[in-house]
Amino acid sequence: MSLLERETSGVVMTPDNIRTRKLPVAIDLGIAVVALVLAAAIVLGAGIGNWVLVIVVGAILYLVGLYFAAGRVEGKRAAKNKIARAMIYSACILAVLPLASVVWTLVSKGAARLDGDFFGSSMNNIGARDANGGAYHAIIGTLEQVGIATLMAVPLGVLGAIYLVEYGRGRFALTVRFFVDVMTGIPSIVAGLFVLAFWVLIVSPWFNNGTPRFSGFAASLALTVLMLPTIVRSTEEMLRLVPGPLREGAYALGVPQWKTILRVVLPTALPGIVTGVMLAVARAAGETAPVLLVAGGAAAINMDPFSGNQSSLSLFVYQQASDASKFAPDRAWTAALTLVALVLILTIAAKLLARRNRLS
Amino acid sequence: MGDFPSRSASTNAGGPGVTARHIRSAGNGVSPIPPDDRPPLGGGSALPRKSRFSLETGFKGLSTAAGAMVLVIIVAIAIFLISKAVPALNANDESFLTAKEWFPNETPPHFGIAALAFGTLLTSVIALLVAVPIALGIALFLSHYAPKRLATPLGFVIDLLAAVPSVVFGLWGRDVFSQPVQHFSEWLNKYFSWIPLFGGDGPFGRSILLGSLVLAIMVLPIVTSLSREVFQQTPGMNEDAALALGATKWEMIRTAVLPYGKPGVIAAVMLGLGRALGETIALALTLGTTFVISFNLIQSGGNSIAANIANTFGEANATGRGALIASGLVLFAITLVVNMAARAIIYRRREFRDSAA
């Protein structure tokens, strides 16, 4: 528009005037300052809120002002473009704030009990007035439960993925694939209730003179249900990336299909499979609800996952959070920090391993 | 838009849904030919005879059984939950679907899921209303606005946040976030109490608002990372065409990126909904545990199916456990429907199959 006018008026075309006009940055900043001052005057003057409201009102005023200023200088469409960008940037800032707060609280509050006592003792005989006590039993529980769950879920998941990629044909394979995806969305509490109904209430009385019994193994079963679909999916993706000619080369040499899978396909896809397993383990380690329902939680150290109540780190956090003792929040936050560190180390290691993977 | 290489040039041409061809293609689209399916190559007796029971059939059977295990587990979940829920439902003195209170441990037991189901849906819907616009904003920022040097680590951080256990968010919501939310609730109540949502006269601590906001923060990474993948797959040619026609960046996003990503975004939102519906510990720590149906967001109260299970499981007797299992069955049914719908949408556009983990 302005470009055409200028052309007809016979001005010499320079790089400066053949570009469309832009709102100067100074004016942009000026609008921001004016908006903030105006917002402060309105909000604090009328006494209807504090600095948070000032920022919110200021942001709205800034967007309105920017829209009109940019609309005058650059045109309506460009103004909309600017507003959209401002809103997308503010969405990012808005999301970063709570997440930064979570991280900051974890580190600052979690450091309070980060001592040897915390990692070396249990909550046995710790009363409401005792400041010490630790999560040793919970760490043991987490490691045992997640370890057993991994031992059960990995063979099952990898074999299931082999079926989907190498053998599965037709409607049945499609159904299995679909329900693997659906199963990733099953709430952890439902998996816990399932193991409660199936293992704790129906099967465990057979071994225990007719009375139901909580155990760490039951928690492992629930975690297996949660890990299985994740492992199947990630392994399946990796197996699909193995080049077909590798398989055909093996077949051409007369190797049977099962041996091809075990000796050629799986080793090629191994780093990717390990990555998927580690992500699943990280997810399982953070689950609270199933452990609460079927392992019961305990204050003392229980090394035997097959009998008696057991705790886990996440359950420890939950129970300490609900505890009335004034020392409980410190323990809860330190356990939360330990848990997050464990999960993040696993996740980051998995992602780094994935980066070194040559297949993807 | 050359910075955003598009993968979809090849995937775009595929047919709808997961076809038999799709399942078959293993590794770069070259299908392995199972040696057993080939016709004998003449001179039959020269080839070794196929044995009936070999390691091959054994291995195949084993892997098929592992695949079928998934179906077995889903069916078993339904069967065992129903078998434990029915006795409690028979003992129930009131209608399970319409009653609001939850006293399964008394004699006679009377309990109903109406208030719990309402609380579950209300918190999830509010959480999504808050989280989805922000998540889409971040997804667009990562896929189209941020320089690549910033987008990669930021995307990595978002993926890490999806792995943070829910109990940590619950603890943070109860110990830290409840303070600002309480101030905000009091402010809302002071100036907007004429809206029923913000009415009441306190206390305003552990409310539906707090629970929903914590849920929103938890759903954010999931919706963000799925939508980002979808936005990144927009064909570069569509984007370039829009820009070449003179569209501004926002117009390009509105006309090329958003329509292309719509099914994927819907699926991402539904997966987020599935996660929000089933979230247990974060809500158990932040909601106020009441059994009423009320749209008041800021007064202490609120409950959800999953949070109720975690909160009352400790003191439940046999009937109480059965009642909790019955409520879990309802939750299972709701999440199953939501997840199946989401997956069906994803399967209809197979470009997204890789991103849907």
What burial letters (b/e) apply to A174-201, b meaning 16+ CB within 10 Å? bebbbbbbbbbbbbbbbbbbbbbbbbbb
Tens of pLDDT, residue by residue over A197-247, are 999 988 888 888 888 889 999 999 999 999 999 999 999 989 999 999 999
Q: Contact, B159 vs A355, CB < 8 A? A: no
Contact check, Cβ <8 Å, A292/B18: no
Number of domains in chain B: 2
- Give, as one character, the DSSP assignment of residue A202: I
Between CA A149 and CA A326, with CA A311 as vertex, the angle to 5 degrees is 145
pLDDT of residue A144: 94
* B135, B220: one domain: yes
Among A37-51, A261-275, B278-292, the least confident range: A37-51
* Portion 194-253 of B in contact with A at CB < 8 A: 217, 220, 248-251, 253
Contact check, Cβ <8 Å, B164/A286: yes
d(CA A37, CA A58): 8
* Portion 76-95 of A in contact with B at CB < 8 A: 77-78, 80-81, 84-85, 87-92, 94-95
Enclosing H/E stretch for B110: strand B110-111
Domain membership flag for residue B46? no
> What are the residues whose beta carbons fall under 8 Å from the beta carbon of B187, sequence distance 6 or more?
A49, A53
Confidence of residue B107 (pLDDT cuts 50, 70, 90): confident
pLDDT of residue B51: 61
Residue A265 has pLDDT above 90, yes or no: yes
Q: Which residue has the higher pLDDT, A1 or A317?
A: A317
The average pLDDT across A89-96 equals: 88
> What are the residues whose beta carbons fall under 8 Å from the beta carbon of A152, sequence distance 6 or more?
A220, A221, A224
Tokens of B26: 């293993």
Closest among A275, A274, A328, A270 to A299, alpha carbons compared: A328
d(CA A57, CA B191): 15
Q: CA nearest B20 in A: which residue?
A: A170
* B33, B100: one domain: no
Domain membership flag for residue B53? no
Closest among B171, B179, B200 to B281, alpha carbons compared: B171
B187 touches chain A (CB under 8 A): yes
Residue A82 has pLDDT above 70, yes or no: yes
Mutate to test the interface with A, among B70, B138, B140 (most CBs of A within 10 A): B70
Domain membership flag for residue B123? yes
- The closest CB to that of A332, out of B81, B83, B171, belongs to B171
- Give, as one character, the DSSP assignment of residue B165: -
pLDDT of residue A13: 64
B159 touches chain A (CB under 8 A): yes
Tokens of B290: 């009441």
* B11, B157: one domain: no
Confidence of residue A129 (pLDDT cuts 50, 70, 90): confident
Residue A22 backbone class (left: φ over 0; alpha: ψ -120 to 50; beta: rest): beta
The average pLDDT across A41-63 equals: 86
The average pLDDT across A135-155 equals: 94
The average pLDDT across A338-345 equals: 92
Residue B352 has pLDDT above 80, yes or no: no
Q: SS3 for B29?
A: coil
B266 to chain A, minimum CA–CA distance in Å?
A: 15
End-to-end CA distance of chain B: 27
Residue B5, number of CB atoms within 10 A of its CB: 9
A10 to chain B, minimum CA–CA distance in Å?
A: 25
Tell me the chain A residues in contact with residue B341 when contact means C-beta distances shorter than 8 Å. none
Q: SS3 for A149?
A: helix
Q: Which residue has the higher pLDDT, A358 or B346?
A: B346
Contact check, Cβ <8 Å, A77/B248: yes
B19 touches chain A (CB under 8 A): no
* B230, B129: one domain: yes
pLDDT of residue B127: 95
Q: Which residue has the higher pLDDT, B45 or B336?
A: B336
pLDDT of residue A190: 94
The average pLDDT across B307-314 equals: 91
Domain membership flag for residue B65? no
d(CA B43, CA B39): 12
pLDDT of residue B190: 86
d(CA A180, CA A270): 21
The average pLDDT across A142-152 equals: 95
pLDDT of residue B298: 85
Tens of pLDDT, residue by residue over A235-264, are 998 999 999 999 999 999 999 999 999 999
Residue A272 has pLDDT above 70, yes or no: yes
Tens of pLDDT, residue by residue over B210-269, are 999 999 999 999 899 889 988 998 899 999 999 999 899 999 999 999 999 888 898 889
pLDDT of residue B16: 41
Q: What percent of chain A has pLDDT over 90?
A: 46
d(CA B110, CA B132): 38
Residue B204 has pLDDT above 90, yes or no: no
**Preceding peptide of B203 cis, ω within 30°:** yes
Q: CA nearest B326 in A: which residue?
A: A193
pLDDT of residue B227: 92
d(CA A348, CA A279): 9
pLDDT of residue A161: 95
Confidence of residue B25 (pLDDT cuts 50, 70, 90): very low
The average pLDDT across B144-169 equals: 88
Q: Contact, A271 vs A356, CB < 8 A? A: yes
* B246, B319: one domain: yes
Domain membership flag for residue B145? yes
* B3, B142: one domain: no
The average pLDDT across A8-24 equals: 66
Tell me the chain A residues in contact with residue B156 when contact means C-beta distances shorter than 8 Å. 351
B26 touches chain A (CB under 8 A): yes
Q: CA nearest B276 in A: which residue?
A: A187
pLDDT of residue A11: 59
Residue B28 has pLDDT above 70, yes or no: no
The average pLDDT across B20-43 equals: 47
Closest among B208, B222, B245 to B118, alpha carbons compared: B208
d(CA A255, CA A264): 10
pLDDT of residue B5: 42
Q: SS3 for B85?
A: helix
- Give, as one character, the DSSP assignment of residue A300: S
* B349, B282: one domain: yes
Determine the distance from the C-alpha atom of residue A296 to the mean position of all C-alpha atoms in its chain, rounded to a whole number: 25
Helix axes A136-162, B55-91, angle to 10 degrees: 120
Confidence of residue A191 (pLDDT cuts 50, 70, 90): very high
Contact check, Cβ <8 Å, B68/A188: no
Confidence of residue B186 (pLDDT cuts 50, 70, 90): confident
A299 touches chain B (CB under 8 A): no
d(CA A57, CA B48): 83
The average pLDDT across A114-124 equals: 85
Closest among B26, B351, B354 to A239, alpha carbons compared: B26
Q: SS3 for B164?
A: coil
Q: SS3 for B6?
A: coil
Domain that holds residue B285: 92-356
Confidence of residue B47 (pLDDT cuts 50, 70, 90): low
Torsion of CA B69, B70, B72, B77, to 10 degrees: 140
- The closest CB to that of B176, out of A101, A322, A348, belongs to A101
Domain membership flag for residue B227? yes
Q: SS3 for B354?
A: coil
pLDDT of residue B101: 87
Residue B17 has pLDDT above 50, yes or no: no
Confidence of residue B3 (pLDDT cuts 50, 70, 90): very low
Examine the predicted complex and report whether its ipTM is higher than 0.90: no
Residue A21, number of CB atoms within 10 A of its CB: 14
CATH number at residue B282: 1.10.3720.10
Contact check, Cβ <8 Å, A176/B66: no
A129 touches chain B (CB under 8 A): no
Q: SS3 for A244?
A: helix
Q: Which residue has the higher pLDDT, A14 or B246?
A: B246
d(CA A16, CA A32): 26
Contact check, Cβ <8 Å, A244/B32: yes
What is the residue-averaged pLDDT of chain A?
87
B150 touches chain A (CB under 8 A): no
> What are the residues whose beta carbons fall under 8 Å from the beta carbon of B152, sequence distance 6 or more?
none
pLDDT of residue A17: 63
Cβ pairs bridging A and B (under 8 Å): 320
pLDDT of residue A119: 87
d(CA A148, CA A281): 11
Enclosing H/E stretch for B103: strand B102-103
Q: Which residue has the higher pLDDT, B206 or B243?
A: B243
A356 touches chain B (CB under 8 A): no
Residue A227, number of CB atoms within 10 A of its CB: 27
What is the residue-averaged pLDDT of chain B?
82
Q: Contact, B108 vs B318, CB < 8 A? A: no
Contact check, Cβ <8 Å, B251/A77: yes
Residue B36 has pLDDT above 70, yes or no: no
Q: SS3 for B326?
A: helix
Domain membership flag for residue B52? no
Tens of pLDDT, residue by residue over A324-337, are 888 888 899 999 99
* B28, B102: one domain: no
Domain membership flag for residue B258? yes
pLDDT of residue B331: 94
Residue B63, number of CB atoms within 10 A of its CB: 23
Contact check, Cβ <8 Å, A197/B18: no
> What are the residues whose beta carbons fall under 8 Å from the beta carbon of B318, sequence distance 6 or more?
none
pLDDT of residue A1: 47
**Preceding peptide of B108 cis, ω within 30°:** yes
